[in-house]
């Protein structure tokens, strides 16, 4: 990672770090068998900071720029090494380069559902996940609190701890927000800001800050989502009575005609009310009204085909008179709305008109 240039075979003259990774936060300049010469050049690039540690004590922090390691640039090291008294030997100190850029697209999420009290659903559980970015705001504090003597510290070593901090703060925020579960999707931006503020103090104690924190999704457990879908479906089909009428009429089929539909509606109404009474039970919030009678059946009207012409419409009673008078035979072609084409009268319900005979006369 580091590129070292030597003015001689014994002393290092240029100290800098070229980061060729995407996750290294801290890299220690290896000083083994190398001594830093007074007057050496220190290059700190944008997005970096250099921290000097001398004999286990944090000495100086350098922000981006080019530095000559001299007395006026190292006030603490000058006191420690007595440079102001004119030393001649090189010095040995640990130099840590700290990346101060943003580390982006980091993931966080709840491993287990969070229990909260929803004003509409009551006690329920939610899950959440999102992304965040992190950067070092105080290199010296980050080195002291987190890195220690690690010579190469990566983002993976701190991301797990940050995720735990975010999830713990999210549990508190979501429980105290009082936002209904169904409205959380519309308030993720506000919840994200509240969550970022809630963890600022904890993160800053590590020398870190979170420039961005997003809540991408807040979801319910599968069982709760299924119940919510069923509730939504009930709202789409309307009341239970209307739904049962529709299903009963659909089961009877379209071939039954208007009378069958009317009968189905009556059966559906009775069945729907019966199920409603069973669901509500004796502890229901409102009294159960009595089951209304089914609507009267709709009377069919009929048409006759005679010599290529259509006659009618006739009621069933009218056709009965024609049958008695001999003006309509069994093989007469008849049609009624809902019937699939013309049929002989004896192949329809009109067949009963030709089987009814008067009782025997008195004295027979």
What confidence score (pLDDT) does residue 272 get? Answer: 55
What is the C-alpha separation between 54 and 42, in angstroms, rounded? 16
The token pair that represents 70 in the structure block: 């001299």
Taken in order 194, 195, 200, 202, the sign of the CA dihedral is positive
Q: With a cut of 70, say whether residue 247 has pLDDT above it.
A: no
The per-residue pLDDT for 179 is 83
C-alpha dist (Å) from residue 33 to 6, 27, 29, 36, 93: 13, 18, 12, 10, 12
Categorize the per-residue pLDDT at 211 as very low, low, confident or very high, splitting at 50, 70 and 90. very high
Residue 15 has a pLDDT of 85
What's the average model confidence in pLDDT over 185-213? 90
- Residue carrying structure tokens 């800098």: 16
Distance CA 31, CA 92 (A): 7
The whole-number average pLDDT for the span 89-109 is: 85
What CATH number was assigned to the domain covering residues 302-354? 3.30.1490
Q: Are 334 and 350 in contact (CB under 8 A)?
A: yes
Strand intervals (E) in the chain: 5-6, 11-15, 24-29, 35-44, 48-54, 57-62, 65-68, 94-99, 103-109, 114-118, 122-136, 152-154, 208-219, 302-306, 309-314, 333-335, 343-344
- Note the pLDDT of residue 210: 92
Residue 42 CB coordination number (10 Å): 21
Angle at 167 between CA 166 and CA 173, to 5 degrees: 85
**Pick from 309, 306, 299, 338: nearest CA to 322:** 306
The per-residue pLDDT for range 100-144, each reduced to its tens digit, is: 999 999 999 988 888 888 877 788 888 899 999 999 999 999 998
What pLDDT, on the 0 to 100 scale, is given for residue 190? 87
312 close to 304: Cβ distance less than 8 angstroms: yes
pLDDT one-digit tens code per residue, 300-345 = 788 888 888 888 888 888 888 888 888 888 888 888 987 888 888 8
- Determine the pLDDT at residue 2: 41
The residue among 181 and 298 whose pLDDT is bigger is 181
Range scoring the smallest mean pLDDT among 66-80, 258-272, 323-337: 258-272
Domain residue ranges of the chain, discontinuous segments joined by +: 5-99, 103-224, 238-281+289-298, 302-354
CATH tag, 103-224: 3.30.479.30
Do the Cβ atoms of 153 and 21 come closer than 8 Å?
no
Could you tell me the pLDDT band of residue 71, with boundaries at 50, 70 and 90? low
- Report whether 95 contacts 31 (CB < 8 A): yes
CB 128 within 8 A of CB 187: no
Which uninterrupted H or E stretch holds 76? helix 75-81
Residue 270 has pLDDT above 70, yes or no: no
Average pLDDT over residues 230-252: 65
For 356, left (φ over 0), alpha (ψ -120 to 50), or beta?
beta
Our measurement of the distance from residue 190's CA atom to the centroid of its chain's CA atoms, rounded to an integer in Å, reads 16
Whole-number pLDDT of residue 297: 66
């Amino acid at each position: 990672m580091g590129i070292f240039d030597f003015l001689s075979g014994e002393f290092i003259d240029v100290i800098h770090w070229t980061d060729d990774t995407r996750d290294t936060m801290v890299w220690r300049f290896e000083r083994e068998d190398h001594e830093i010469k007074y007057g050496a050049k220190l290059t700190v690039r944008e997005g970096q900071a250099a921290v000097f540690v001398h004999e286990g004590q944090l000495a100086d922090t350098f922000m981006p720029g080019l530095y000559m390691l001299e007395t006026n640039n190292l006030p603490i090291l000058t006191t420690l090494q007595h440079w102001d008294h004119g030393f001649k030997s090189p010095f040995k100190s640990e130099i840590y380069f700290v990346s101060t850029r943003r580390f982006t697209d980091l993931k966080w999420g709840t491993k287990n559902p969070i229990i909260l009290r929803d004003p509409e659903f009551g006690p329920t559980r939610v899950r959440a996940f999102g992304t965040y970015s992190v950067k070092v705001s105080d290199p010296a504090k980050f080195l002291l609190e987190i890195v220690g003597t690690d010579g190469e510290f990566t983002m993976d070593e701190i991301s797990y701890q940050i995720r735990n901090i975010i999830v713990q703060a999210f549990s508190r925020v979501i429980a105290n927000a009082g936002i209904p579960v169904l409205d959380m999707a519309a308030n993720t931006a506000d919840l994200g800001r509240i969550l970022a503020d809630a963890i600022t103090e904890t993160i800053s104690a590590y020398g870190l800050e979170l420039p961005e924190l997003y809540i991408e999704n807040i979801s319910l457990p599968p069982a709760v989502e299924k119940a919510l879908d069923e509730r939504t479906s009930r709202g789409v089909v309307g009341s239970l009575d209307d739904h049962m009428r529709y299903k009963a009429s659909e089961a009877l089929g379209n071939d039954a005609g208007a009378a069958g539909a009317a009968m189905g509606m009556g059966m559906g109404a009775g069945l729907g009310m019966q199920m409603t009474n069973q669901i509500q039970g004796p502890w229901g919030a409102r009294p159960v009204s009595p089951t209304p009678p089914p609507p009267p059946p709709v009377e069919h009207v009929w048409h006759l085909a005679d010599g290529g012409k259509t006659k009618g419409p006739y009621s069933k009673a009218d056709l009965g008179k024609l049958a008695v008078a001999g003006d309509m035979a069994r093989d007469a072609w008849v049609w009624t709305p809902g019937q699939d084409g013309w049929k002989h009268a004896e192949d329809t319900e009109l067949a009963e008109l030709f089987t009814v005979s008067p009782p025997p006369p008195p004295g027979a």
